[in-house]
């Protein structure tokens, strides 16, 4: 059983059950690179400020590098007696170089150390998330451009509403993911704050230079309040909130892919590589991947609620409850990143049934609004035109017709404003391209949206490259 670094105050050893109950090493091990990175920066700052000697700092930094290498090779055994990754690294450091290693923890607490590690970790996670969301957007734009001429029925209430371009439908998801990017970028701004030096809660008596450490670690700014620094979990909640909204968007798309791949819709076919079969029904091809994307959205929602519930009643500053922040965050990270990676691979391999989509685009009176719009151009008030076309639809239902099957005489039975020029209003291509309002489904507007999206993504790519530098 490892000696506790805080054992001096205590007469009894920690009960084994307590060690197991309170340990976080089994899940916060993933922070080891960030913990060592932060410790190296802290050590160099201590030397820069004359708090420890440069020789001592050099020895500590070298040994931390060796520990990092050995951890990456799996050569360091970890167990619950080490409590967490921070204690594990420090115990290993002390075991290798003795008392000089104990100088590393000067002017810091585990509280600000934990805060630093999580911010370093989340900063990387947010950048990876943004890259994957951008990749998802790029995939959507590629598919939209490739299938620019495909017409499909648009839906409201899951009922046929009006014809739209399939590309227009895809670009709606592009816009959802664009908002997701904005949220993750905002979260990155609030994550990119350096807390180390706040110590336990009140700051430190040593003449440290937090701004030096911030520059060394690439942070944009330093915390303004030491109590807030060690107890702030807003950025984690914000990440989980943005992730919940992102997963909601993914889930909506997954739901449509599931519906569209059914025989009743037959709009698309999902590649075999992203489906599974049945253990009893040989004919089955199940859309398990989008179903799981839809299902995993719930666990991300649950992680957000867990964090909000965890923090809602905590007094300032640090409380051990906050150890429970990591598993919901880590699970959200793993779920979001794996989902986006899979989505980017699955979407390009979907086969589009353009004939089926086009055939359904004009069914179930999707041209009714255009027929009403025609009457408005002939001087009929819209509310009257709406009523007239409703009567025409009722007539068609009774007689087993579509609007395009009606003759001019049949139309005129309902209103004398109908004339020969009504029929172009019932041509689906014309219907699509007349909708030239901003954000509309006209081919010209959709092409403009695709061009804007490409420009936006190129700008994001340049920004991402600059951030890496």
Q: Which of 211, 207, 203, 205 is nearest to 229 (CA)?
A: 203
The sign one gets for the Cα dihedral 152, 156, 161, 167 is negative
330, 422, 319: which is closest to 372 by C-alpha? 422
Q: What token pair was written down for 270? A: 């999902």
Cα angle 161, 166, 169; round to 5: 70
Block residue for tokens 């041509």: 427
Question: Is residue 116 a contact partner of residue 181, using CB atoms and an 8 Å limit?
Answer: no
- Geometric angle at alpha carbon 333, from 328 and 336, rounded to 5°: 115
Signed CA dihedral, 75, 119, 102, 22: sign only? negative
Name the active-site residue from 278, 338, 444, 464: 278
Length of the chain measured in residues? 469
As given in the structure block, the two tokens for residue 223 are 């915390």
Which residue's structure tokens are 């009929």?
Answer: 380
| DSSP string across 318-379 | --GGGGGGHHHHHHHHHHHHHHHHHHHHHGGGPEE-HHHHHHHHTSTTTTHHHHHHHHHHTT
157 annotated active-site: yes
Q: Is 278 part of the annotated catalytic residue set? A: yes
The set of catalytic residues is 157, 278
């Amino acid at each position: 059983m490892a000696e506790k670094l805080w054992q001096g105050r205590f007469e009894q050893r920690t009960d084994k059950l307590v060690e197991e109950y309170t340990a976080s090493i089994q899940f916060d091990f993933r922070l080891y690179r960030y913990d060592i990175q932060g410790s190296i920066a802290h050590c160099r700052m201590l030397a820069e400020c004359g708090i420890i000697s440069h020789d001592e700092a050099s020895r500590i930094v070298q040994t931390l590098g060796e520990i990092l290498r050995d951890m990456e090779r799996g050569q360091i055994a970890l167990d619950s007696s080490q409590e967490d990754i921070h204690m594990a690294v420090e115990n290993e450091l002390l075991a290798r170089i003795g008392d000089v290693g104990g100088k590393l923890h000067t002017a810091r607490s585990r509280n600000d150390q934990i805060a630093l590690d999580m911010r370093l970790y989340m900063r990387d996670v947010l950048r990876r998330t943004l890259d994957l969301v951008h990749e998802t957007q790029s995939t959507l734009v590629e598919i939209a451009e490739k299938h620019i001429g495909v017409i499909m029925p648009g839906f409201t209430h899951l009922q046929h509403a009006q014809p739209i371009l399939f590309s227009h439908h895809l670009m709606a998801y592009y816009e959802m993911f664009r908002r997701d990017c904005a949220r993750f970028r905002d979260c990155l701004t609030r994550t990119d704050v350096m807390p180390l030096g706040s110590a336990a809660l009140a700051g430190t008596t040593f003449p440290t230079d937090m701004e030096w450490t911030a520059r060394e670690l690439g942070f944009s700014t330093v915390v303004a309040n030491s109590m807030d620094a060690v107890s702030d979990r807003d950025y984690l909640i914000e990440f989980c909130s943005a992730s919940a909204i992102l997963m909601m968007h993914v889930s909506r798309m997954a739901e449509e892919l599931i519906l569209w791949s059914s025989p009743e819709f037959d709009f698309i076919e999902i590649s075999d590589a992203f489906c599974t079969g049945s253990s009893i029904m040989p004919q089955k091809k199940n859309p398990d991947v989008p179903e799981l994307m839809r299902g995993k959205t719930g666990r991300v929602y649950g992680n957000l609620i867990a964090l909000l519930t965890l923090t809602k009643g905590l007094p300032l500053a640090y409380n051990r409850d906050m150890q429970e922040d990591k598993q919901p965050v880590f699970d959200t990270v793993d779920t979001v990143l794996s989902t986006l990676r899979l989505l980017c691979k699955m979407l390009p391999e979907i086969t589009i049934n353009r004939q089926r989509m086009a055939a359904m685009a004009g069914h179930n009176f999707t041209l009714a609004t255009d027929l009403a719009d025609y009457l408005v151009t002939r001087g009929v008030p819209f509310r009257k035109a709406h009523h007239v076309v409703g009567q025409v639809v009722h007539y068609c239902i009774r007689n087993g017709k579509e609007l395009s099957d009606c003759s001019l005489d049949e139309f005129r039975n309902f209103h004398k404003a109908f004339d020969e020029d009504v029929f172009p209003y019932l041509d689906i291509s014309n219907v699509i391209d007349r909708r030239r309002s901003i954000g509309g489904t006209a081919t010209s507007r959709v092409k403009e949206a695709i061009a804007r999206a490409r420009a936006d993504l190129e700008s994001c790519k340049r920004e991402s490259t600059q951030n890496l530098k």
